[in-house]
Amino acid sequence: MKPSRRTFLKNTAAVGSAAIVAPTIISSRAFGANDRINAAVLGVNGRGKNHIKSLMAQDDVQVTVLCDPDMNLLKERQKQFKETYNEDVALVQDLRNVMDDKDIDVVSIASPNHWHALTTIWACQAGKDVYVEKPGSHNIWEGRKMVEAANKYDRIVQHGVQLRSSPAVNEAIGLLRDGYIGEVYMARGLVFRWRDDIGKQGTSPGPEGLDYDLWTGPAPKQPFTRDLVHYNWHWHWDYGNGDVGNQGIHETDLCMWGLDVGLPSKITSMGGKFLWDDAKEVPEVLTSVYKYPDEGKIIQFEVRPWCTNSEQGVTVGNIFYGEKGILVVDGYDKYQTYMGRDRTPGQSGEDGGESATGVDRGAGGTDGHFANFIEAVRKHDKSILNGPIETAHLASGLAHLGNIAYRLDRVLTFDPDSETFVNDPEADTMLSRNYREGFAVPESV
């Protein structure tokens, strides 16, 4: 029987890691302390560059393969790899060949969103451990399939929300749990990013060296356009999830973690395109509200582009509201509290600084998050993961629910236990997608 999505986070560690506490099975592939772990990085245009750097920063970890549908990018990264590390690295265009490579122990996934779930599932089926960028999924249904695959094949799967490995953010979560700002009833997620007009570039022949069919993968195949490849796919529904499902996953995750909730039962969302007549399909401005009637809690989430104000000094981050004060998380690695009616500054913290009890917080960031992943891989112990797969599904799911409410333009009622809408077949059709032949997320993983 599946555990309630509503109560999952209540059964995770509050501080240090939000980890699945079920007992784990030690695999025969557990690594010794000094055994080398071979890694492949899948997707090397954006965050993949950070994955390469952070994996190579780990002791006894070697990036041996770079994989991307675009051979032009691969050759560029190969050259940079040689210049940086004075080592050679293999290039692979088709990720299925990586899955067949028995010498690869772990894969890190930094491909477009529409590839995340299927790649994770294939990797789990191939017996590999996985670090997958946010959002974990492109839709809610496939997010659940990722969880099922990780559990069925007993794989270590870490979600790329590195603030979960921030000592300062963990300290902030501890304050919320300890009642420092009183009863916490609301969280607000903020994504105020400078997002420009991307224009309308129209269709064109794809560049030589790009396997566009493979890039498209599970999504419907459209004529090639620079409006999609390489970065602007974020702003098209078939491939991305807008900024709430891009930058915003860090904040949706923290909203849920801080409030100690799962998926909500009431969702409403409103927004639109108000600035640019460009190729973006997703809204530039989006305000979503998620209500938890049984818990007496609420999440507000706002995406804004271009010129805007900050809120309590924050443009990307979270604000938690309690009966005694507020707690503000600014970015990925620092927090500040403000107490009482006059918002008197209270306890604060930042990675690398010293805590109120005199303990060195140390550093988090992407390197710290990968270090946590590699430790869990070596021990084959998913309970020590800071960003386990279930939380990836939930954080991504919150963003997906807001986008569905926006696209349907009405208040939705959701059942967190069945992960379906209540008496709403139209909304239910948006929980998944039609997959291209050969690239379908399987019903049975």
Whole-angstrom distance, CA of residue 293 vs CA of residue 230: 41
Does position 15 have pLDDT exceeding 80, yes or no?
A: no
Whole-angstrom distance, CA of residue 404 vs CA of residue 417: 18
8-165+367-388 is classed in which CATH architecture? 3-Layer(aba) Sandwich (3.40)
167-361+396-431 is classed in which CATH architecture? 2-Layer Sandwich (3.30)
CA angle 283, 286, 291 (to 5 degrees): 140
- pLDDT class of 18 with cuts at 50, 70, 90: very low
Q: How far is CA 114 from CA 229, 374, 433, 439, in A?
A: 13, 25, 10, 11
- pLDDT class of 120 with cuts at 50, 70, 90: very high
Per DSSP bridges, beta strands 334-339 and 344-350 are antiparallel
Whole-angstrom distance, CA of residue 445 vs CA of residue 439: 13
SS3 content of the chain, % helix, strand, coil (to 5): 35, 25, 45
pLDDT value of residue 363 = 64
pLDDT value of residue 11 = 37
Contact 337, 180 (CB under 8 A): yes
Question: Using one digit for the tens of pLDDT, what is the confidence trace for 182-208?
Answer: 999 999 999 999 999 999 999 999 999
pLDDT value of residue 157 = 98
Does position 152 have pLDDT exceeding 70, yes or no?
A: yes
Whole-angstrom distance, CA of residue 140 vs CA of residue 396: 8
Can you give the residue ranges of every domain in the chain? 8-165+367-388, 167-361+396-431
pLDDT value of residue 34 = 73
pLDDT value of residue 12 = 38
pLDDT value of residue 352 = 86
- pLDDT class of 358 with cuts at 50, 70, 90: low
pLDDT value of residue 27 = 42
Does position 53 have pLDDT exceeding 80, yes or no?
A: yes
Question: Using one digit for the tens of pLDDT, what is the confidence trace for 276-313?
Answer: 999 999 999 999 999 999 999 999 999 999 999 999 99
Please list, in sequence order, all residues whose beta carbon lies within 8 angstroms of the beta carbon of residue 277, skipping any fewer than 6 positions away.
200
pLDDT value of residue 10 = 36
Write down the mean pLDDT value for the chain.
Answer: 92
Beta-bridge partner residues of 318: 189, 329
pLDDT value of residue 145 = 98
State residue 217 phi and psi, 5-degree precision.
50, -120
User: Burial, 357: exposed, middle or buried (Cβ in 10 Å; 0-12, 13-18, 19+)?
Assistant: exposed
> What is the chain's Cα-based Rg?
21
pLDDT value of residue 73 = 97
User: Burial, 375: exposed, middle or buried (Cβ in 10 Å; 0-12, 13-18, 19+)?
Assistant: middle
Does position 401 have pLDDT exceeding 50, yes or no?
A: yes
- pLDDT class of 361 with cuts at 50, 70, 90: low
State residue 201 phi and psi, 5-degree precision.
-90, -10
Contact 262, 6 (CB under 8 A): yes
Q: Return the minimum-mean-pLDDT range out of 31-35, 100-104, 128-132, 360-364.
A: 360-364
Whole-angstrom distance, CA of residue 186 vs CA of residue 181: 12
Does position 173 have pLDDT exceeding 90, yes or no?
A: yes
pTM of the model: 0.92
- pLDDT class of 354 with cuts at 50, 70, 90: low
Contact 403, 427 (CB under 8 A): no
